């Protein structure tokens, strides 16, 4: 069963966008940690129960559903699921809650949001999705894993449509780390990304426009961490699995390291794109954004009349490696 990419949304402090417009978002991140709650159009009683990461994901999901023309669909919400990937989730809420134990000021409202998967639950409640739901928390690669698992759930018949989210927020522990990691690292930032995957049958029944079709994916883990040499080795294996060199055209990546990005660039004749250079690294959000980048680039090329294969590749210092490839649906 084929899996189609139907839409994308992005929300970050200072930036928001949907569909191919996401590719042209530029400029520094606004780190004031405000997205303008009125944009979310959620009643105040519900809004005050949401942590920041859930707000980003709900905002991105609204944009994504709008991009995919959700209102025109005839959809059974029990067949519409949600999988989210986040490197740290609401760890800031957890640590705040931990601190509140010391002063005896414990909040029954805050506690549920200490659970990382609560943002997936908030999305399901907000939009009524009753299909499969899950949350990955495997560092930056979580965004990829969320998308790959969502595709599998569609292929196995557990769902017709899946919302895939990826988000991370700046937290003190990670910000602190910036002070001790080498200057070659890309700046950290925060934001939420959402995309929609659907089965071939759903696309036909609802007359949807498929931006791209997911054609292959893979993941491994390097137990010794990813050094430059292992990244080149991983990249070679990706090339081997998606086809011979030259049969892919466009590679979108997310990297925390300029050095590692350069190592891959040297190895590859394809057009390379890394939105992190413009938007900062949003961990799982950036990983998923690179996937959006690859799929939307396939769409953009298709509209301009030439077929493109788009690959999104990820590997990080802790050892996670993953790739997803999209083809023109036509």
Nearer to other proteins, 98 or 245 (CB): 98
250 binds other proteins (CB under 8 A): no
Q: How many angstroms from the chain centroid is the CA of residue 194?
A: 6
Which SS3 state, helix, strand or coil, does residue 81 take?
strand
CA 241/CA 101 separation, integer angstroms? 51
- Residue whose tokens read 């997936």: 120
- For position 149 contacting other proteins by CB under 8 A, the verdict is yes
Angle at 143 between CA 265 and CA 213, to 5 degrees: 75
The dihedrals phi and psi of 214, each to the nearest 5 degrees, come to -75, 120
Selected binder of other proteins within 124, 169, 194, 197 (CB under 8 A) = 124
Among 181, 148, 159, which residue's Cα sits nearest to residue 284? 148
Q: Is 138 in the site for other proteins (CB under 8 A)?
A: yes
- Least distance to other proteins, CB of residue 79, Å: 10
Instruction: Note whether 164 binds other proteins by CB under 8 A.
Output: no
Query: Using the rule CB under 8 A, is 187 a contact of other proteins?
Result: no
Residue 242 tokens read as 């998606």
Which tokens sit at 144?
Answer: 């990829």
Do 119 and 168 meet the contact criterion of CB atoms below 8 Å apart?
A: no
Distance CA 164, CA 147 (A): 6
C-beta closer to other proteins: residue 25 or 134: 134
Of 9-17, 174-182, 195-203, 268-276, the window that binds other proteins (rule: CB under 8 A) is 174-182
Candidate ranges 30-38, 98-106, 206-214, 270-278; the one touching other proteins (CB under 8 A): 98-106
Contact 318, 144 (CB under 8 A): no
Q: How far is the CB of 137 from other proteins (least distance, A)?
A: 4
Do residues 190 and 283 lie in contact, with contact meaning Cβ atoms separated by under 8 Å? no
Which of the stretches 67-75, 195-203, 301-309, 316-324 binds other proteins when contact is defined by CB under 8 A?
316-324
**Which of 27, 43, 179, 246 is close enough to bind other proteins by CB under 8 A?**
179
Site residues for other proteins per CB under 8 A: 49, 77-78, 81-82, 87-89, 91, 94-95, 97-98, 101-102, 104, 106-108, 111-112, 114-118, 120-122, 124-125, 127-139, 145, 149, 152-153, 155-156, 158, 172-174, 176-177, 179-181, 218-223, 317-320
């Amino acid at each position: 069963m084929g899996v189609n990419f139907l839409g994308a949304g992005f929300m970050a402090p200072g930036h928001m966008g949907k569909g191919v417009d996401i590719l042209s978002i530029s400029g520094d991140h606004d780190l004031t940690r405000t997205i303008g709650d009125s944009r979310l159009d959620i009643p105040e009683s519900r809004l005050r129960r949401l942590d920041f990461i859930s707000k980003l994901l709900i905002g991105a999901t609204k944009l994504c559903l709008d991009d995919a023309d959700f209102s025109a669909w005839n959809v059974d919400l029990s067949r519409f699921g949600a999988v989210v990937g986040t490197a740290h989730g609401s760890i800031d809420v957890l640590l705040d809650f931990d601190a509140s134990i010391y002063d005896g000021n414990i909040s029954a409202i805050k506690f549920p949001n200490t659970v990382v998967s609560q943002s997936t639950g908030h999305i399901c409640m907000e939009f009524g999705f009753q299909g499969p739901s899950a949350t990955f928390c495997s560092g930056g690669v979580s965004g990829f894993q969320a998308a790959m698992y969502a595709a599998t759930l569609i292929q196995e018949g557990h769902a017709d449509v899946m919302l895939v989210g990826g988000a991370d927020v700046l937290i003190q522990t990670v910000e602190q780390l910036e002070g001790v990691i080498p200057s070659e690292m890309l700046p950290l930032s925060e934001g939420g990304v959402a995309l929609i995957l659907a089965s071939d049958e759903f696309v036909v029944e609802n007359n949807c426009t498929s931006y791209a079709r997911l054609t292959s994916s893979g993941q491994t883990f390097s137990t010794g961490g990813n050094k430059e040499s292992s990244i080149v080795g991983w990249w070679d294996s990706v090339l081997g699995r998606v086809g011979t060199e030259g049969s892919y055209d466009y590679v979108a990546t997310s990297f925390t390291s300029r050095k590692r990005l350069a190592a891959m660039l040297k190895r590859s004749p394809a057009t390379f794109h890394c939105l992190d250079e413009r938007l900062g690294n949003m961990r799982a959000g950036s990983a998923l954004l690179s996937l959006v980048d690859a799929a939307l680039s396939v769409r953009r090329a298709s509209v301009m009349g030439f077929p493109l294969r788009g690959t999104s590749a990820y590997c990080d210092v802790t050892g996670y490696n993953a790739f997803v490839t999209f083809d023109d649906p036509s």
